[in-house]
Amino acid sequence: MSEGALPKEDAVLRVDDLQKSFGGLAATDHATFAVERGTITGLIGPNGAGKSTLFNLISGFYEPDGGTVEVNGTDVTGMEPYEVAEHGLIRTFQTPRKLEGMTVREAMLVGPRNQPGESFIKLFATPGSVSESESANLADAERILEDFEIDHLATQPATDISGGQMKLVELARAMLAEPEVLLLDEPVAGVNPTLAKKLKEQIRRLNEQGTTFLLIEHDMEFVMDLADPIVVLDQGHVLTEGTPEGVRNDDRVIDAYLGGGT
Amino acid sequence: MTVLGYLANGLVFSSIIVLGSIGLSLVYSIADFANFAHGDTMTIGAYTALVTFGAVGGLGGAVLGLPYGFFLALVVGIAVAAIVAVGTEKLIYEPLDVDSIGLLITSIGIAFIYRAVIQIRFGSDFTRFGIQSLRPIETLLPYGVRVTLHDVAIVASAVVLVAGLHVLLQYTDLGRKMRAMADNPDLARVSGIRTKRVKLWTWVIGAGLAGAGGVFLGLFNQLSPRMGFNLLLVIFAAVILGGIGSVYGAMAGGFLIGMITQLTPFFSNVVEALPIGPGWLATLLENLITIEYANAIAFVIMVVVLLIRPNGIAGEGAT
Amino acid sequence: MSFLDDPKGAFADLTRPERWVLGVSVAFMLFLLGALLTGALGPTYFLFLVGLAGMYALLSFGLNAQWGFTGLINFSVAAFFGIGAYGSALMTAESSPIAGGFNPLVGLVVALVVALVLALLIGIPTLRLRADYLAIASLGLAEVVRLVVLNERWLTNGSAGVRGIPSFFQGWPVLSTFPETMPGLRLVVIPGSPIILGTSFWQSLLNVLLVLTFAGVTFFVLRRAHQSPWGRVLRTIRSDEDLARALGKNTYSFKMQSFILGSLIMALAGVFYTHLNLYVGPGDLDPITTFYAWVAVILGGSGSNRGALFGGIVIVTIREGTRFLNDVALPIDPAPMRLLLIGVVIVAVMRYRPQGILPPQRELIWPSAVDDRGTPETPDSGVREQKGGGGDE
């Protein structure tokens, strides 16, 4: 079932024998793989291979029918998404999520976890600590926006920026949550080539600074250039895992893409 | 009253709820919002029939204790309810640039406007159709069943209307498209169904059936400007029980909810007879399962269904 | 920039709808002042209206904390209002079938505690539901509450309601006898129609001060909450709950907090109503109260506290305006006229201005944090201008 999965010593995310079916149809079929700390791991597969379902299972949005998910050695199977996030796994969405009525800066500030100001009591009991952390978060947000070269958008309405810029903001916001492993669902879908290049540079830079990535992407060139290793999903199970080179030359992968899986 | 008697009453009331719930369910899935004006559409049907019947009179003969003129009034009530609903869709809902929650809120405004207009014209008091009340059918009395010929007429008419809808849904092109859209609106749109036309027909059918339900409700109880709004939540309970978007589910849900509310006095007899311990529980149940709480029981059932089976009791499990 | 330092500049800073609202409000105030001075509007009745407006504003604040902040479609406003009113009435009234005779402060606390319990009872099952299911379920549960109040005579007196409710200041030093001890005043503005300020005037004045205190404290709390990271999470949930969950926010808990906060404010409105009206009955739990609050919030602008305040005043104008019209001009029953106006306002707002008249315009970041960084910027265009109907699904 999980043939081809590479042995991992320091896995930040471990998926074991994960199963999920909808109306009798197996969307995730005994999937097993792991994400090694410090890597950018790619997750590819033909349409309908179950990549998004897998993301939803890992991040707690779906409850698996069987199998386990471990983040940092903790079993997070069946936990709520926010609990999974608390263990260091943050995800983004395929379609950028719009935060109506917020500026980019405000939308960014949703990112940091465990803000004292998120406790209603503290707003009135210790407003000082709320102020302090809000100032610090605001500074962080502005610094990251500068790093991403989109600081000029800070006070723009979050709904008024382009789709590509939204993807950048989403990535930047996810970084404010200080994830150990970040799941990106098609980070460059619908993004123009210039911005896609910028996103690639940012992901690489953040990876060098220590963040582990797992990303779904249809743009083969993008994923082959960025990710190593690459996990190939077909009909809900892991077909193989390997280097971009190895995957590219694997006949089974080519068959899966050509035949739509048989 | 005997069990049979309660069941017979339940059947009559269920017929009215079924007529209301089909339209609410269809509009919920095809127009994609919870239409809070659906109850007041029933009121429109009832009052239109009241006016029509007052104008045309009996027209000679009678069937099942109801003059011909009443059936003409019923048809006019159905037609006016449908026309008002289509007009509202065209003038109000269609031009709106809001999501389904916005439509839901708008429909509350529409409900108030319908009711206010009726109340301004007819006052807020209860009224009745000018038809003499009948005595219960003699031959059924020994079985403890107290139904009148009017009740029989309500059930029979509801059966005719529902059978007609069944034929429409199963054997016509429009019916197939409606079922497809109710099932999966996005898919239907992609597959080239002219959704706007289907949507209009949904309003016609849904509101028409609601209008009929309103007329029968007026015959079964009385007419008042609040009659429809008061029944709205019971109908929502039926729709949710049956699963939103499923016409046959709405029928089943309407039947069940109608039965449950009418059988409440019977259940309360059962509770009193049963040796329930501990004593406080028995007292509590005896106090809660009473006719005053018939609707409350329906609402609680609705919330429970929403929680454990949001797709209805017959639908697929929660996802 | 303070309005006093630079009135012209402050006026120029306002958006068009803000100027419009300001203009209408000033005109309305002048009209009321004129009516007061000429004796057409009795000062006691005027104060009663102000109290009522404050009550609707409170009710709208409560709903705004739920729908405006978090996007919770709560159709059980009337239940919380009624629970607040009954809780306080049953504790303080002489004719109370249960306790009775307690100090109104005890009534206030009991009412809030009961409302908290009810919020948990309604919230725990329904807050996990989809937005439109929440609407239906909460309306159903509110109806259950109304039926209980109507039918459990041993507890609530049933359809007779509760009478003999004291003023809120009963048993307080000084204030309890303040209206009686104050001298009656006789003002003559227009010769021949003197204005008498007697005991009932002072009593009404106290009530107005009470509701201003309630509303003022609520406004302050809500404004701080709205600008805080807490409020930001609620606004994120309103726009996109899944995003909030993915970012590690326990959305169920936040929704519950927002629901409880709003419910307590609605109960507070009920407590005030009890001591204003001095009678409560099951009719006070009629769903129409829920929709009065809804009209106020969507008209004022969902998420906007000052909008809710404005909406509250409009509701009183509709309520009392229809009565006035009925008295002097049209012999039409005011009840359906009110219903019609409410309906028309809902439809018109959704059609022409779904974001409401005074939507929140400015960036909401904890003020001192922004000041520290010296960037008190406001976006060029209104942040919320796009849409106000509701969150995207």
| Domain boundaries of chain B, sorted by first residue | 3-225
Supply the pLDDT for residue C387. 37
Q: Do the Cβ atoms of B256 and B246 come closer than 8 Å?
A: no
Chain-chain contact of C340 with B102 (C-beta, under 8 angstroms): no
In a domain, C129, yes or no: yes
In a domain, C385, yes or no: no
| Residue of chain C minimizing CA distance to A82 | C248
B7: closest CA of chain C, how far (Å): 25
In a domain, C316, yes or no: no
Cβ contacts of C392 on chain B, cutoff 8 Å = 99
In a domain, C273, yes or no: yes
For chains A and C, count residue pairs whose Cβ atoms are closer than 8 Å.
143
For chains B and C, count residue pairs whose Cβ atoms are closer than 8 Å.
141
> What does DSSP say about strands A237-242 and A230-234: parallel, antiparallel, or unpaired?
antiparallel
Token pair belonging to B176: 């197939």
Choose among A103, A109, A135: nearest Cβ to C379: A103
State the number of CA atoms in the 13 A half-sphere of B297 facing the CB.
Answer: 21
In a domain, C308, yes or no: no
Cβ contacts of B100 on chain C, cutoff 8 Å = 132, 393
Instruction: State which residues form the domain around C62.
Output: 41-286
> How would residue B267 be classed by pLDDT, with cut points 50, 70 and 90?
confident
Supply the pLDDT for residue C3. 52
> How would residue B141 be classed by pLDDT, with cut points 50, 70 and 90?
confident
Cβ contacts of C225 on chain A, cutoff 8 Å = 120, 123
DSSP, collapsed to helix, strand or coil, labels residue A129 as helix
Q: Is the pLDDT confidence value at B252 over 50? A: yes
A15 strand-pairing partners: A33, A69
Contacts of C333 (CB under 8 A, 6+ apart): B119, B120, B123, B124, C326
Cα B290 to the center of its chain, rounded Å? 23
Q: Is the pLDDT confidence value at B291 over 60? A: yes
What does the alpha-carbon distance between residue C171 and residue B199 come to, in Å, rounded to a whole number?
63
Supply the pLDDT for residue C393. 33
The torsion angles phi and psi of A67, rounded to 5 degrees, stand at 95, 175
In a domain, C370, yes or no: no
Cβ contacts of A131 on chain C, cutoff 8 Å = 366, 368-369, 372
Burial class for A60, CB neighbours closer than 10 Å (0-12, 13-18, 19+): buried
Q: Is the pLDDT confidence value at B315 over 70? A: no
Supply the pLDDT for residue C6. 64
Chain-chain contact of C245 with A156 (C-beta, under 8 angstroms): no
What does the alpha-carbon distance between residue C136 and residue C138 come to, in Å, rounded to a whole number?
6
Supply the pLDDT for residue C4. 56
Supply the pLDDT for residue C61. 96
Supply the pLDDT for residue B94. 93
Supply the pLDDT for residue C374. 47
Supply the pLDDT for residue C388. 37
Q: Is the pLDDT confidence value at B163 over 90? A: yes
Q: What is each CA distance from A79 to A52, B263, C245, in whole angstroms?
A: 18, 43, 12
Chain-chain contact of B124 with C333 (C-beta, under 8 angstroms): yes
Supply the pLDDT for residue A189. 85
Mean pLDDT in residue range B125-147: 88
In a domain, C305, yes or no: no
Choose among C125, C298, C392: nearest Cβ to B105: C298
Among A52, A63, A120, A180, pick the best mutation site for testing chain C contact (most C Cβ within 10 A): A120
Complex-level ipTM:
0.92
A21 strand-pairing partners: A26
- Out of B232-236, B276-280, C349-353, pick the least confident: B276-280
Supply the pLDDT for residue C7. 64
| Residue of chain B minimizing CA distance to C332 | B120
Mean pLDDT in residue range B23-36: 92
The torsion angles phi and psi of A214, rounded to 5 degrees, stand at -125, 120
Choose among A85, A124, A142: nearest Cβ to C246: A85
Cα C167 to the center of its chain, rounded Å? 20
Work out whether the CA dihedral C232, C392, C345, C339 comes out positive or negative: negative
Cβ contacts of C128 on chain B, cutoff 8 Å = 307
Supply the pLDDT for residue A2. 43
List the chains bordering chain C where 3 or more Cβ pairs fall under 8 Å.
Answer: A, B
Q: What is the pLDDT of residues B70-85, one digit of tens each?
A: 999 999 999 999 999 9
Q: What is the pLDDT of residues A200-253, one digit of tens each?
A: 999 999 999 999 999 999 888 899 999 989 999 999 999 999 999 999 888 888
Structural Rg of chain A based on CA atoms: 19
Tokens 């008042």 sit on residue: B224
Chain-chain contact of A102 with C248 (C-beta, under 8 angstroms): no
What does the alpha-carbon distance between residue A166 and residue C70 come to, in Å, rounded to a whole number?
22
**Is residue A96 reached through a cis peptide bond, with omega within 30 degrees of 0 on the bond before it?**
no
In a domain, C247, yes or no: yes
Chain-chain contact of A85 with C303 (C-beta, under 8 angstroms): no
Cβ contacts of C245 on chain A, cutoff 8 Å = 60-61, 80-82, 85
Supply the pLDDT for residue A6. 60
Q: How many residues does chain C have?
A: 393
- Out of B94-108, B276-290, C204-218, pick the least confident: B276-290
Chain-chain contact of C143 with B124 (C-beta, under 8 angstroms): no
Buried/exposed code over C98-128 (b: 16+ C-beta within 10 A; e: otherwise): eebebebbebbbbbbebbeebbeebbeebbe
Chain-chain contact of C344 with B113 (C-beta, under 8 angstroms): yes
B19: closest CA of chain C, how far (Å): 19
Helix (H), strand (E), coil (C) string for chain C: CCCCCCHHHHHHHCCHHHHHHHHHHHHHHHHHHHHHHCCCCCHHHHHHHHHHHHHHHHHHHHHHHHHHHHCCCCCCHHHHHHHHHHHHHHHHCCCCCCCCCCCHHHHHHHHHHHHHHHHHHHHHHHCCCCHHHHHHHHHHHHHHHHHHHHHCHHHHCHHHCECCCCCCCCCCCCHHHHHHHCCCEEECCCCCCCEEECHHHHHHHHHHHHHHHHHHHHHHHHHHHHHCHHHHHHHHHHHCHHHHHHCCCCHHHHHHHHHHHHHHHHHHHHHHHHHHHCCECHHHHCHHHHHHHHHHHHHHCCCCHHHHHHHHHHHHHHHHHHHHHHHHCCCCCHHHHHHHHHHHHHHHHHHHCCCCCCCCCCCCCCHHHHHHCCCCCCCCCCCCCCCCCCCCC
Supply the pLDDT for residue C379. 42
Chain-chain contact of B112 with C148 (C-beta, under 8 angstroms): no
Cβ contacts of A100 on chain C, cutoff 8 Å = 238-239, 384, 386-387, 391-392
A198: closest CA of chain C, how far (Å): 23
**Domains along the sequence of chain A with CATH:** 11-97+177-259 (3.40.50.300), 99-158 (no CATH)
Chain-chain contact of C247 with A157 (C-beta, under 8 angstroms): no
Mean pLDDT in residue range B276-301: 83
- pLDDT beneath 50: ranges in chain A: 1-4, 261-262
When divided into structural domains, chain C yields a total of 1
What does the alpha-carbon distance between residue A78 and residue A75 come to, in Å, rounded to a whole number?
9
Cβ neighbours of B56 (radius 10 Å): 15
What does the alpha-carbon distance between residue A24 and residue A243 come to, in Å, rounded to a whole number?
34
- pLDDT beneath 70: ranges in chain C: 1-10, 193, 371-393
List the chains bordering chain B where 3 or more Cβ pairs fall under 8 Å.
Answer: C
